[in-house]
Structure 1
Amino acid sequence: MSDIQALLSALDVFSRAPDRVSLEKANAWLQDFQHSPEAWTTCNILLRSPDAPLAAKLFAAQTFRSKVTYDLHQVDPDNLFSLRDTIIAALEHYKIGPRTILVQLCLALSGLALQMPTWSGAVEGLIESYGQDASMVPVLLQFLTLLPEELTGNTKIPVTDQDYKERAELLLTANASRVLDILSIYIRAPGVTHAVQSQIFACLRSWLVVGEISAVALADTALFEFCFEALASEQLFDAAVDVVCDLIHETQEIDDNMPVIERIVPKVIELRPKLAAAKDDPEQTRGYARIFTEAGETYRLLVLHHTETFFPIVEAIGECSAYSDLDIVPITFPFWMRLAQSIGKRATVSPLFHDAYNRLMAVIIEHLHFPADSSALVGQELDNFRSFRHVMGDTLKDCCYVLGTEQCLAATLQVINAALSLGPNATWQDVEAPLFGMRSMGAEVDPMDDNIVPKIMDLIPTLPAHPRIRYAALLIISRYTEWINLHSDYIPRSLQYISAGFEDTDAEVLGAAGQALKYLCQDCKQHLVPFLAQLHTFLATVGPKLPQEDKLVVYEAIAHVISAMPMEQAAQSLRTFALDILAAVAAVANRTVPATKQELQDIGHGLANLEVMLHVVGGFGEELPAACQSTCEETWSMFETFITKYGSDYETTEHVTRVLRHGLNLFGNAALGVAPAVLLRMAASFKMTGLSSYLWIASKIQSRFGNEEDTILRTAFRVVYEESTEKLSTLLQEKSPSHIPDVLEDYMRMLLQMVDYSPDIFFESLAFPIAFRIALAGLTLIQSEIVFVSLDLIRIILNHDCLEPPANAPPPPKFPIYANAIRGVIDAEGFELTGLLLAGLVGDFPEEASSSIISIFRVLASQWSTQLVAWTPPVLQQLPSSVAPDDAKALFLKEITDSITMGQYDKVKYAVLGIHRTSRKIRERRRVTPLD
């Protein structure tokens, strides 16, 4: 009884509004309880106790299902029949519900039937026992519904493939005909209720979907006719829709199911008049839309080959697409897409399809209209509608695929002209919707078109200046820039229209203007070189008025134009734009009065603009243009002064180091002269601030110049290494590793560069033991990237050639020094390393980390054999049994010891994978809250 009371207390926590700690504690207790052998008896008592709370009874039923899945080995084989009878007795006890408990008990019984070959005739026995008992028929139907789902869907049940195949055949295939017979009898049985008929449909679907009952077999029963008749019943409509859709879907093997299809299609077509009758009932319309669309998709090839017979289905789907409820319309879109793909592969198709897609195009453009009342859509509804417009736009592309883009654009242009002809009576929605359609079709436009696109481009400057219309028109320009590139005479007027967009006060219009300029410059950059001076003037006059996000896009656009210039001209142009930005940085850097927060923010924006330009332009190759010859030293001098003053501001530091990163690419080897100074400044700034971006840029410099033998540069590498290690060691004394994950990650990425390019500095420095301990700190975090980089660093250290030098050649002179350094560190830290690796392996390490852990353990086993055997038992003892059971620990220790004893160190792989696999299964089970 103490177990029951403790269980009830734990469950009671969930009925209140608990704090997180209480919730996690209760959840952990319940999960541990579910694992215990005592849970079988305790849960049976709870299920049969009339006084137990409903939550406790549900938990007990869930526990039976869970334990049948995971813990059936706890039950003596002689007691399996007793367990079966216990579950069946519970089913009888809860025959009137609650359904949630019945479901869990049926799932438990299904899992037991799969794992209990000695229970022969399981399904037949239950049918015989309960099939004639009206009070137990709902329970029987529930079991028969869940049996196929559990057997095919619960992959956690521990049976071999062969055993599964044999048992599934006995439980499902051998009983399919009998199940179909009783469902056929029950569906029209005297006194049968709608609730039972809905259960029958659910059961039928379950066996149909897993392929145990075929459409052919179903068609020979009374169920076939009733499925369609039930659509007339308000109570059975939803269940009938589901089963009809599944029936249609299961006839997708056309040749094998043609006799059934010939019976299904007339019945589906007969439903078409129901659409008009259901026009005021969205849920009924949704159901019919699902049936028509399923039929259209499944019989798509028949629609194409026997158009006259099947085309009423297409027309019905068209009616569903035209329905006013936009939650229903997208049900039809996959059909139109797949039909368009099929039509595109055929030389000729019936004109009926062209008519259907013409109507569809008109319908979609109508759906694209914003409501006349602008307040009708706000907040999330507005966002959802805008997102859905893009989905509808994809369907317009399907129309282009069938009708041809030129015809679709011409028809859409006609809609716009018709709206504009109304003059003052035209609404902006009537113009904007087809413009949006044109934008969507832009991906299908032929860049060589000289017929319809020029008319569109000529129309754009004449459109009303309404913000929504201007927004749509600007985005058309951004989508048609490939066409503009081949028709460069349209560049000036496009630039003029875009420039006017930047004068608008509407934020979305400004954003669209930025996108249009970006794509125009990207796709037409060769033609825009003569316009660069104009763009520079534009930036100087309009730029200050633009929000930063739009200004950033403008700089990116200009950079595309610069990238198309000859090298010398490009360098001079880049210098011109860069100096505009750097002048503000220099002014603040050289000023005695401290910069304000706003000034630093403005400089950050400017540096972001410079960064995007450098990113687009890239570099100039090995030889710098004349315009850049002295720029590197000048720029660094200015940045060094600036960082010295303002390097403790996080945002400022982020912007500066990103610009330095791109500058490294731009200047290439020319940056070697300033690299030592940059590294020393990064070391000093990190020591002062602890900001990770300084380590990040130091890592990039080492990656670029790591092979250089310059003494000054290598001294700078050592300074960065030692001072950053000292600083990080100090930080870890003040803060938990979880508080500085970004610093740890960038530090270890820097060390990865160092161990690769400068092993002498890395291993010989007194910083090495401290650096290794910092890497161990990285293994205590849960962030995947930090765990991976920590493991990579430790793996590379332990797999260094100095520990196992090649036998066929003398080792490099410094290998013994490196080896001694590594051995000293592992002798001191090996126990903690082993503990962290195993704790992470059975804990929060990412799934892919096991390969690195195997590699590390292999080296430990071969190079530290005695120590590893001594370290492992106490480490295993520290692992919680809840994720690493005692038998799994014992097996791990045995396999590690055996691999060392036999000198077969590669076999540590099986020890690591074994305990990992066991803990993963336990963790997967524990991820689900017991009350779910």
Structure 2
Amino acid sequence: MAEIQTLLSCLDVFSRAPDKASLDAANTWLQDFQHSAEAWSTCNAILLSPDAPHAAKLFAAQTFRSKVTFDLNQVDQTNLLPLRDTLLAALERYQSGPRSIVVQLCLAISGLALQLPAWDNAIQGMIDTFGRNPATVPTLLQFLTLLPEELNSNTRIPITDEEYREMSANLLTANSKQIVDLLSMYIQATGVTHAVQAQIFDCLRSWLVAGEVSASALAETPLFAFTFEALASDDLFDAAVDVICELIHETQEIEDNMPVIELIVPRVIALKPLLREQRDDPEKIKGYARIFAEAGETYRLLVLQHTETFFPIVEAIGECSAYSDLDIVPITFPFWMRLAQNIGKRPSVSPLFLDAYRTLMGVIVGHLHFPTDITTMSPQEADNFRSFRHVMGDTLKDCCFVLGTNPCLLATYNMITTALSRSADALSWQEIEAPLFAMRSMGAEIDPHDDDAVPKIMDLIPSLPNHPRVRYAATLIIARYTEWINLHPDYIQYQLQYISASFEDSDTEVSGAAGNALKYLCQDCKQHLADFLPTLHTFLGTTGSKLAQEDRRQVYEAIAYVISAMPMERAAESLRTFSLDILAQVHAITNKPTMATKQELQDVSNSLENMEVMLHVIQTFGDELPPACQNSCEEAWAVFDSFLTKFGSDYDLGERTTRVLRHGLALFGNSALPVAASVMTRLTAGFDATGFPSNLWIAGKIIQRFGDEENPSLRKTFQEAYEHSTQKVISLLQVKSPGEIPDVLEDYIHLLLELVVHAPDIFFQSSAFPLAFRASMAALTLVHSEIIFQSLDLFRIILNHDCLLSNSQQPPKFSNYVTAIRSAVDKEGFALVGYLLAGLVGDFPEDSTSTVVSIFRVLAALWTSQLLSWLPPVLEQLPTTVAPNQAKSQFLTEVTSSVNLGQYDKVKYAILTFDRASRKMRDRRRVAPLDR
């Protein structure tokens, strides 16, 4: 009784608005309860209690299902059949509902039947128990519906593949004919209700989906005809549609199912007139659309081979595509796509299909029209419609595939010219914008060498009405057609003029489209645009400040593409020109005698972002810098050094500056070596003062680039960065949890990885090493896969270092490395093993297991006695909810045996077994008790 009261109290927490701690505590107790052996009897008592609340009864039923899946080994073999009888008695008790409890009990019985060979002829037993009384037939149907689904989807049931095949065949395949006969009898029974008939259809569909009832077998029963007849019933319509779609799908092996297809197709075609008769009922049209689309997709080869017979299906799908409800239209899209693919493989095709796709194209363009009054759409509706337009755009590409791109482009071109021929009063912007959007969607299909359709479109753009939506669509056409423009450079000047005018539009979406178009124009036509760079430079000086930063950034990106295509000398001069503008702004703000305003700081941050994007595109000029760049590195660093001195404590400015420095490092390469020591010193001071991880990030990049240089002053800065950053990280960890500074730990670990690879003498011989070892363990507690991988790699490199090998030829300094490593592991090994095992059974990513194995193997070989002394208390600390006691004992036994026998490689199998046992527990607990 005490346990039941506790259970009821925990469940009551979920009925209120609890705090997270209460919710977690209740959920944990319920999960632990579900694992316990006592849960069997407790849940049975709750189900038998008339006074137990609904939530408790539902939880009890869910627990039975869970325990049948996971914990059947807790039940003695002699009690398995009594357990079955207990579940059947509970099902009889709740035959009238609630349905949620019936479902869980049916799932539990299904799982038990799969694991209980002693339950001979379980299906017949269920029919005998529940199938004779009309009052209990719905319960039987619920069980028969869920049985195939549970057997085919619940992969957690612990049986072998062979056992599964045998039991599944006994339960499903051996009984399929009996089930079809039973359902046929029930569907025609005197007094059968629509509710029961809908259940029959659901059950039939479940067995069809499972592949246990064939289309040919179904066609020989009354169920076949009744399914189509049921479409006339509002109560049965949805269930009948589901069965018909599944029945058609099951006949996709055309040659094997022709007799059935010959029965299905006339009945499907007979539904076509209903599309007009019931056009005011979108739910009915949706059902018909599903049937026609399924038939079209499944029989599309027959449609092409026997067009006269099957083409009414295509016409019906076309009517569904033209329906006004845009929730229904996409049901037809997969058919049009797959039919187009099949048409494309044929040497010739009936004109009927060409007409169908021409009609479809017109229909899609019609659907692309925005409402006459766009303000009638809510923001969410507008977003959904915009997203759906791109889906419709894919169907336009299918039209291009069948009809050819040029005919489709010319068709949309004619739509626009026809609209423009009317008076302005009779013209709506939607008539222009929708075909323009279609042209944009079809842009990926155009031939870059075309001299027919695309020139007409390009010549048309300047004459379009100056409406924001029209200009937006036209500007994005330019963005999509830049590969064509590259081969027709005479159009570049006119397109640049149109793009420039779009930048000046007050509509932010139009100016955004202009930035996008300029970026792609410069990316694809860069070799033609070098002479336009002065114009773009002037444009930035005059109009650039008026642009939103996103648009301005795209302009700089576009300029960078042009520079990247220029001869090296000229490219360097151009990059210097645009960079000096930004550096002058950085220099000015640094030397401003008064405090900079918030807007001024934002402006300089934006400018740094623009420089970053330029450098990202250009990358590098190579090992030999052109003359224009010879002194640029020192000059630029002088500006940034002063800037960081003054503004490095501003997180955003520091982050932005270091991103520029990273790309600058790639640009200048070895030419940056003279300033590397100064940069390291500034970054070390910056991290010391602020704790901003971007300083560590760039310091690691510099060590990665110059770590092998034998430069005493530079290597001194490496050591200073190592020691100062380690002290700073340790001090941060004293006041913050690792989870509060994941970015710091990530960049710190990255710095250490570069040091251990490029400067191991500094890494191992510094007094910072023991502290760095300890700080790196903190990173193992984070739920960040990339950081976990980096941290584990660091420990793997340390513990697998060559200095630990028995080799008389080792350099003298290796003895210092060994001393440092052994001292650190002797001191921190217990904690390290704790972190590794806690992560293994906790939040370590799955792919990290091999690295954990590598680390453990070294510990087993070189710290044998210590490892065996560390493991028992570490294992004791692991929660049994993720590391069962049996798994802990097995792990300790296997590791001890491997170590004592000197078979250190076998530690791997102990870890893998322990990991599998833990994952099984975690998989189970991921499902909240009330969600099972």
TM score, norm. by length of structure 1 = 0.99
Measure, in 1, the Cα distance between the counterparts of 2:174 and 2:870.
56
User: Could you tell me how far 1:128 is from its partner in structure 2?
Assistant: 2.6
Offset of residue 914 of structure 1: 1.5
Say which is worse superposed, 722-731 or 549-558, in terms of deviation.
Answer: 722-731
Percent identical pairs in the alignment equals: 68
Q: Secondary structure at 1:272's aligned position in 2? A: coil
Aligned position for 2:879 = 880
Q: Name the structure 2 match of 1:276.
A: 276
> Which residue of 1 is the match for residue 389 of structure 2?
389
Counterpart of 2:47 in structure 1 is 47
Q: Displacement, 1:732?
A: 1.2
Shift of 1:851: 1.4
Matched with 1:6 is: 6
Q: How does 1:727-766 map to 2 (within 5 A)?
A: 727-766=728-767
Q: Distance in 2 between matches of 1:128 and 1:40?
A: 26
Output aligned runs, 1:403-482, within 5 Å: 403-424=403-424, 425-482=426-483
How far residue 280 of structure 1 moved from its aligned partner, in angstroms, is 0.8
CA distance in 2, matches of 1:142, 1:18: 35
Residue identity matched to 2:789: F
Kindly indicate whether residue 917 of structure 2 is the aligned counterpart of residue 918 of structure 1.
yes
Corresponding residue for 1:364? 364
Aligned twin of 1:897: 896
Give how far 1:594 is off.
2.9
1:824 is matched with 823
Q: In structure 2, what residue type is equivalent to 1:769? A: P
Matches within 5 A, 1:72-87: 72-87=72-87
Can you list the C-alpha shifts for 1:230-286, whole angstroms capped at 9, x where unaligned?
A: 000000000000000000000001111110001000000000011111211111110
**Correspondences of 1:682-721 after superposition (within 5 Å):** 682-721=683-722
Letter of the 1:114 partner, please give it: L
| Residue matched to 2:928 | 929
The separation in 2 between residues aligned to 1:196 and 1:466, in whole angstroms, is 58
Number of the residue aligned with 2:846 = 847
In structure 2, the residue corresponding to 1:211 is in which secondary structure? Answer: coil
Partners in 2 of 1:423 and 1:117 — Cα distance? 81
Structure 2: how far apart are the matches of 1:883 and 1:11? 23
CA distance in 1, matches of 2:228, 2:632: 80
CA deviation digits over 1:585-628, x for unaligned, max 9? 01122233232222111111000001111111111111111100
Write the letter of the residue equivalent to 2:385.
F
**Which residue number corresponds to residue 629 of structure 2?**
628
* 1:215 counterpart letter in structure 2: A
- 2:320 equivalent to 1:316: no
Deviation at 1:867, TM superposition (A): 0.3
- The aligned residue for residue 36 of structure 2 is 36
Q: Which residue of 2 aligns with 1:800?
A: 801
User: C-alpha separation between the residues in 1 aligned to 2:736 and 2:210?
Assistant: 56
Matched to 1:245, the amino acid is: C
Give how far 1:435 is off.
Answer: 0.5
**Quick one: which amino acid aligns to residue 15 of structure 1?**
S
CA distance in 2 between partners of 1:663 and 1:824 (Å)? 40
Is 1:570 aligned to 2:541, yes or no?
Answer: no
Alignment of 1:213-362 (within 5 A): 213-362=213-362
The offset of 1:812, in angstroms, is 2.3
Paired AA for residue 226 in structure 2? F
CA distance in 2, matches of 1:691, 1:848: 30
In the other structure, the counterpart of 1:155 is 155
Q: In the aligned structure 2, how far is the partner of 1:491 from the partner of 1:239?
A: 58
Write the distance in 2 (CA, Å) between the matches of 1:907 and 1:192. 65
Q: Which AA in structure 1 matches 2:207? A: W
1:503 alignment counterpart:
504
Secondary structure at 1:877 match in 2: helix
Aligned counterparts of 1:172 and 1:511: Cα–Cα separation in 2: 59
In structure 1, C-alpha distance between the alignment counterparts of 2:597 and 2:770, rounded to whole Å: 43
Write the distance in 1 (CA, Å) between the matches of 2:523 and 2:788.
40
Separation (CA, whole Å) in 2 of partners of 1:13 and 1:855: 45
Q: Deviations over 1:861-899 (max 9, x none)?
A: 000000000000011111111211111110010011011
Counterpart position of 1:836: 835
- The whole-number CA distance in structure 1 between the counterparts of 2:167 and 2:603 is 71
> More displaced, 647-656 or 775-784?
775-784
Deviation at 1:423, TM superposition (A): 2.2
Residue 156 of structure 2 aligns with an amino acid whose one-letter code is K
Q: Deviations over 1:366-389 (max 9, x none)?
A: 000000012121211100000000
Give the whole-Å Cα distance in 1 for the aligned partners of 2:518 and 2:839.
Answer: 50
Q: What is the CA–CA distance in structure 2 between the aligned matches of 1:884 and 1:290, rounded to whole Å?
A: 48
Amino acid at match of 2:208: L
The amino acid that maps onto 2:316 is A
Measure, in 1, the Cα distance between the counterparts of 2:649 and 2:562. Answer: 36
Q: 1:870 is aligned with what amino acid?
A: S
**Aligned to 1:931, what secondary structure does the other structure show?**
helix
The offset of 1:785, in angstroms, is 1.9
| Count of paired positions | 930
Give the whole-Å Cα distance in 2 for the aligned partners of 1:406 and 1:423.
28
Which residue is equivalent to 2:906?
Answer: 907
**One-letter identity of the residue aligned with 2:598:** K
Tell me which moved more, 591-600 or 429-438: 591-600
5+ residue gaps in structure 2? none
1:782 aligns with 2:783: yes
Q: Give the letter aligned to residue 392 of structure 1.
A: M
Whole-Å separation in 2 of the counterparts to 1:667 and 1:465: 46
Specify the code of the residue in structure 1 equivalent to 2:699. Answer: A
Q: Distance in 2 between matches of 1:569 and 1:171?
A: 78
Q: State the one-letter code of the partner of 2:815.
A: P
* Structure 2 counterpart of 1:251, one-letter code: T
Task: String of CA shifts for 1:528-582, please: whole Å, max 9, x gaps.
Answer: 1111111111111110100000000000001111111110000000000000011
Matched position secondary structure for 1:779: helix
Aligned partner of 2:474: which letter?
A: A
Tell me, which stretches of 5 or more residues in structure 1 are unaligned? none
Report the AA paired with residue 839 of structure 1: A
Deviation, structure 1 residue 664: 0.5
Q: Deviations over 1:291-327 (max 9, x none)?
A: 0000000011111111111110000000000000001
**Alignment match, 2:517:** 516
Q: Measure, in 1, the Cα distance between the counterparts of 2:337 and 2:365.
A: 17
Q: Which moved more, 1:349-358 or 1:879-888?
A: 879-888
Deviation sequence 1:81-122 (CA, Å, 0-9, x none): 100000000111011111110010000000000001111111
Which residues of 2 match residues 658-669 of structure 1 at below 5 A? Answer: 658-669=659-670
Within 2, Cα distance between the matches of 1:154 and 1:773? Answer: 44
CA distance in 1, matches of 2:97, 2:130: 16
Q: Provide the C-alpha distance between the structure 1 equivalents of 2:33 and 2:735, rounded to a whole number of angstroms.
A: 39
Quote the Cα distance in structure 2 between the aligned partners of 1:896 and 1:580: 65
Instruction: Give secondary structure in 2 for the equivalent of 1:674.
Output: helix
Give the match for residue 527 of structure 2: 526
Q: Give a deviation string over 1:446-475, Cα, whole Å, max 9, x none.
A: 011001111110000000000000000000
Question: Following the alignment from structure 1 to structure 2, what is the Cα–Cα distance between the partners of residues 538 and 881?
Answer: 67
Counterpart CA distance in 2 for 1:65 and 1:165 is 21
Aligned to 2:658: 657
Counterpart of 2:127?
127
Q: Residue 97 of structure 1 aligns to which amino acid in structure 2?
A: G
> What residue in structure 2 maps to residue 613 of structure 1?
614
Deviations 1:840-869 (A, max 9, x none): 111122222211111111111000000000
Q: 1:917 is matched by which residue type in structure 2?
A: R
Q: Which range is displaced more, 868-877 or 839-848? A: 839-848
In the TM superposition, what is the alpha-carbon distance from 1:159 to its structure 2 partner? Answer: 0.2
SS state at 2:930 partner: coil
- Greater Cα shift, 892-901 or 921-930: 921-930
Deviations 1:142-184 (A, max 9, x none): 1111111111100000000011111111111110111111011
1:58-90 deviation digits (Å, cap 9, x = unpaired):
000000000000000000000001000000001
